[in-house]
């Protein structure tokens, strides 16, 4: 499917899916998550990157946009309003990614790959703006957000809790604790500071971005940073790396202004939906058999 090749049955299913989706949007009232939602159908296969470009050029009129891929989901309450307020007041922040399992400890991955030589610059790029000082009961360790974490299975619950324990001994968490210890004055009681970790990889995962930055810079045809039929992160991320190599960590990163949100709870905000895990083995076999027959 990723290459635009489907069976006749898959094509029929997709037509039915779009019809059902339009019905949801057309009948939505103020109680529906599909309120104010429209289906924008393109006349040919654009791929993720160019489909997003079309949406930003023709469907989005707001200052910021929240991009959510079809197979991504919020795992727990997420501070969207606080993230938007931060971007509104700090124009240098162009993109805030909502953490997922693979990038929650991004500082550790960066240090493991490049060593200590760049860590002073990396830490200079970490941001902790006042807009991300929140009620500690709502976000952060042992907060309403973490207690509302979605656990589709007991095994996944154990896995995430184990991952949370690993986070608490990470370099990312240690750097945050060091920052707290060096504050001239401690945070007010019951307040919690969230952080923005610089990223040199533009994750297509759930994120908020400045619309103009996306439309006029990322998708500027002069730069050719996104290819038709491909994903944004696949071509843009190597461009970020080359820019950093040419201009240095701080100046190179400033061209893109991309960060990851961390509330230091040790839990990520978003997860990947695997459609295969939501059907029984019998149903999966039936689908595979029907595809073989169609071929």
- For residue 64, what is the enclosing H or E element? strand 64-67
Placement of tokens 């124009």 in the chain: 91
d(CA 97, CA 233): 12
Give pLDDT tens digits for 103-159: 999 999 999 999 999 999 999 999 999 999 999 999 999 999 999 999 888 888 999
Is 50 part of a structural domain of the chain? yes
Taking only the tens of pLDDT, the chain with its 295 residues reads 777 789 999 999 999 999 999 999 999 999 998 999 999 999 988 999 999 999 999 999 999 999 999 899 999 999 999 999 999 999 999 999 999 999 999 999 999 999 999 999 999 999 999 999 999 999 999 999 999 999 888 888 999 999 999 999 999 999 999 999 999 999 999 999 999 999 999 999 999 999 999 999 999 999 999 998 899 999 999 999 999 999 999 999 999 999 999 999 999 999 998 765 555 667 667 767 776 765 5
Give pLDDT tens digits for 206-218: 999 999 999 999 9
Is 290 part of a structural domain of the chain? yes
Is 182 part of a structural domain of the chain? yes
Residues 6+ positions from 105 with CB-CB distance below 8 Å? 166, 167, 170, 171, 172
Is 243 part of a structural domain of the chain? yes
Is 8 part of a structural domain of the chain? no
Structural domain range at position 101: 46-294
| pLDDT at residue 273 in the model | 83
76 touches 146 (CB < 8 A): yes
Per the structure, the count of domains in the chain is: 1
Whole-angstrom CA distances from 34 to 13, 26, 68 are: 21, 9, 14
Fill in the DSSP letter of residue 45. Answer: -
Is 208 part of a structural domain of the chain? yes
51 touches 106 (CB < 8 A): no
Is 228 part of a structural domain of the chain? yes
């Amino acid at each position: 499917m990723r290459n635009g090749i489907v069976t006749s049955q898959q094509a029929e299913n997709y037509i039915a899916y779009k019809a059902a989706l339009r019905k949801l949007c057309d009948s939505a009232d103020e109680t529906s998550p599909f309120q104010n939602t429209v289906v924008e159908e393109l006349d040919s296969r654009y791929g993720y990157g160019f489909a997003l470009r079309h949406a930003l050029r023709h469907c989005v009129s707001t200052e910021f946009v929240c991009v959510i891929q079809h197979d991504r989901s919020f795992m727990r309450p997420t501070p969207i309003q606080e993230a938007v307020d931060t971007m509104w007041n700090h124009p240098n922040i162009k993109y805030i990614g909502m953490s997922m399992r693979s990038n929650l400890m991004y500082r550790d991955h960066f240090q493991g790959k490049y060593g200590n030589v760049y860590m002073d610059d990396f830490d200079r790029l970490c941001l902790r703006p006042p807009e991300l000082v929140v009620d500690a009961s709502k976000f952060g360790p042992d907060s309403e957000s973490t207690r509302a974490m979605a656990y589709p299975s007991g095994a996944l619950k154990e896995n995430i809790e184990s991952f949370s324990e690993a986070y608490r001994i990470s370099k990312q968490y240690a750097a945050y604790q060091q920052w707290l210890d060096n504050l001239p004055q401690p945070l007010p009681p019951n307040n919690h500071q969230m952080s923005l970790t610089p990223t040199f990889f533009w994750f297509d995962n759930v994120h908020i971005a400045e619309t103009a930055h996306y439309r006029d810079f990322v998708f500027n045809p002069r730069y050719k940073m996104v290819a038709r039929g491909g994903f944004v992160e696949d071509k843009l991320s190597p461009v970020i790396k080359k820019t950093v190599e040419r201009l240095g960590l701080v100046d190179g990163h400033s061209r893109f202004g991309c960060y990851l949100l961390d509330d230091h709870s040790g839990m990520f905000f978003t997860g990947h939906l695997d459609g295969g895990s939501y059907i029984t083995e019998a149903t999966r076999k039936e689908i595979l058999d029907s595809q073989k027959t169609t071929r």
